[in-house]
Amino acid sequence: MVIVKNNDDGQNNGQKKRGRPPAFDRETVLSAARDVFWQHGYDGSSIADLTASMGITPQSLYAAFRSKAELYREALAQYRRMPRPEPGNPFQAEIDTVTAFERFLNNSAAIFTAPDHPKGCMISTAVLNCAAENEDIAEYVSSLRAQTLDIFAARIERGIKEGDIRKDANARSLARFMGAIVQGMSVQARDGATASELGEMTSHAIHELRRYTA
């Protein structure tokens, strides 16, 4: 549980000032909420679960984040900012396409199996099924997955232009293939696959991608 920092300095005869919410480090409590959502999903994470993990009251949660949905969006954004074992964005680096995907998948294998947070990917398999009232959240997470596919496709198209991927390669189809690999790795990690076992999956995927090198 996250320890809440109280800004009350003990003055005014030890009485707390009313109307002032408790102070806390936003990134710290957001990290706690992120792990609850990551482990249990959106529907499976109650306000009671979230506030217990964050160390704040429901009133403070709503005051700071407005709603469970907005808290989830911020938690997803923080997840995307998490440091990777190999820093930097491999899709923006001056390396060939196959190496870029190899680095991305190896990073994914390490993150999905790390012992200091829930297993798998918070986005790849998030909110696949949900209650009707949460469809907006499901659509939002789906849009994040679509953005990832766009990034994959753009990197393959760049490889075609730069000459390391064959001109007859179908960038969108290959992007979906790589996206399926990432989603499969996430599920396998949740089911107990090790980093080494996910690394073997990565090797198979990279071997397939190499078939399209120029």
Query: Which two three-digit tokens encode residue 177?
Result: 């293939």
The answer to whether 152 and 201 are in contact (CB under 8 A) is no
Query: pLDDT tens across 149-167, in order?
Result: 999 999 999 999 999 999 9
> What residues does 213 pair with on adjacent strands?
165
CA-to-CA distance for 198 and 167, rounded, in angstroms? Answer: 30
Q: Give the pLDDT of residue 88.
A: 84
Query: pLDDT tens across 9-33, in order?
Result: 444 444 444 444 457 789 999 999 9
Q: Give the pLDDT of residue 12.
A: 43
Q: Give the pLDDT of residue 9.
A: 42
* Mean confidence (pLDDT) of the chain: 88
pLDDT at residue 145 tops 80: yes
Q: Give the pLDDT of residue 130.
A: 64
Contacts of 17 (CB under 8 A, 6+ apart): 8
> What string of DSSP letters covers 60-101?
HHHHHHSSHHHHHHHHHHHHHHSPPSS-S-TTTSSS-HHHHH
